[in-house]
Amino acid sequence: MTTSSNEKAGGVPPAAEHPHTLRKGFDLRSATALAFADVSPIVALYAIFTLGLLAAGPAFWWAFPIVLGGQLLVACVFGELASRWPYEGSVYQWARHVRGPGAGWFAAWAYMWGLTIALSTLSYGAAGFLLQAAGVDAPGKAATMGTALAILALGSLANIVGRRTLKILVVASLVCEVLASVGLGTVLLLFYREHSFGFLLDGAGTAGGGGWLAGPMLAAAAFVGWSFVGFESAGAIAEEVEHPEREVPKALIFALLAVGIIVMYSAAGLILAIPDLPKVMDGGVADPVSDTLVYHFGSSIGRPLLVMFVIGFLASFLAVQAAVSRVIWASARDKALPGSGVLGRLAGPERLPVPAILLTAVGAAVFVLLSGSKLYSVLVNFTTVGFYVAFGLPVWGAALQHLRGRWRPGSFSLGRFSAPVTYVAAVWLALQTVNIVWPRDTGDAWYIEWSMVITLTVVGAAGAALYLGWSRHRITPAFGETVRDS
């Protein structure tokens, strides 16, 4: 098992002890805001609303509290891990310290792929909404792609300029998201409800057949699984947070809980305001969210709705890029990646991981150029499973440490509930990962239905080849380690 200087000294090693450290620039509020923006209530709800509704009917709403409950257990475990190892890189650091270099490397590998693909989908989605808000009806692929690349460039520039710019943009978008999501949900619930609250129980047994634990609700839970990820980004910037061993665990849990409550509230308002459910379930409505809002508010709601979508997607883009660039930089600091000499550099007066940020921008740009192709359709589905694999490795490692009696808590601890919460979180992640990867008969091409299995196999095999052939022989002790894992 790893022994770290953090365990011996009871805190984070001073910056002078390591030549590659980042400057402090975040407090509890800004770290929470970053994690909140990464999850993003708007993206969390609207990206999967139609899929969940078609899978299980109005009862798909219950997938939100189920998944939120499981993810809150994960957030509590992450809080304990972040408190004990408050180092830059979140899942990479946590998996590496509890299970060794291999586990940390593969957590980072899955995370880097998943989030870089996510950056392309966020920029492409924001581009489509932005063009429509600007009055461009049915924008073509070239226009959307060009706008997405411009968003990539400007978003990356915002992350490079400095933490102050990032914090201002994230907080501003956060305020807009909360006001829009909560305000819209309230108006719909108070003035435009078409159904009673019992309507939320309709669908698990009628929309596609089966009961609560059968195919429809399991599919809904798989879709909702994408909604409540991203809160770990508070741990990705741990070394940039003041008193990270105390503040990062709070940011992880507060951000997820806040987003979860807002998403469930907004989702209930939307579902109960749907004017014609049979038409939606028959596929006669392409976008139930837009259709419902236009029905109640008229076509004038269109442009403000699109602007709201743009804000949500841009905020999520900024936070996702900040998180994945820190994981890349932390891995490069330990010589775990090819090109570590460049990717591990810090630049500018605020000592930011500029090369790592640029790498995420280039990678996302390549994926944007692939958008619309069969390959991109397969790759984009790796986003969700990439998150869950990256989450699972540190949580499963922590569960193993508890089983072996080797766990020692940090400043943030669940006390006597630590072991049972970790065990349940580990089981939850295993079951949800299988649920997400499981091929489903959706009527799409076979490679789309099997895309999770295909991408997990290909990315995993490529990662294993790179790790065994290159990284394993070059990786150095992780930041904070004094004794390397055996």
Task: Parse the chain into domains and list their residue ranges.
Answer: 20-476
- Amino acid letter at 247? E
**Architecture of 20-476 per CATH?**
Up-down Bundle (1.20)
Q: What is the pLDDT of residues 320-350, one digit of tens each?
A: 999 999 999 999 999 999 999 999 999 888 8
| Rounded percentage of the chain residues whose pLDDT exceeds 70 | 92
Q: What is the pLDDT of residues 423-450, one digit of tens each?
A: 999 999 999 999 999 988 777 788 888 9
pTM score of the predicted model: 0.90
Q: Provide mean pLDDT across the span 378-388.
A: 90
Choice among 17-31, 206-220, 259-273, 285-299 with the minimum mean pLDDT:
206-220
pLDDT of residue 402: 97
pLDDT tops 60 at residue 119: yes
Find the helix or strand (DSSP H, E) in which 4 lies.
strand 3-4
pLDDT score of 285:
85
Query: If you write DSSP's letter for every residue of 204-270 in order, what string do you get?
Result: TTTSSS--TTSHHHHHHHHHHTTTT--TTHHHHTGGGBSSHHHHHHHHHHHHHHHHHHHHHHHHHHH
Residues 46 and 309 sit within 8 Å (Cβ to Cβ): yes
| pLDDT value of position 5 | 41
Tokens for 206? 């009628």
CA distance linking residue 177 with residue 316, whole number of Å: 11
pLDDT higher for 172 or 9? Answer: 172
Q: Are strands 481-483 and 3-4 parallel, antiparallel or unpaired?
A: antiparallel
pLDDT of residue 214: 58
Q: Are 10 and 245 in contact (CB under 8 A)?
A: no
Task: Provide the pLDDT for residue 11.
Answer: 46
| pLDDT at 207 > cutoff 80 | no
Residue 444 neighbours by CB distance under 10 Å: 12
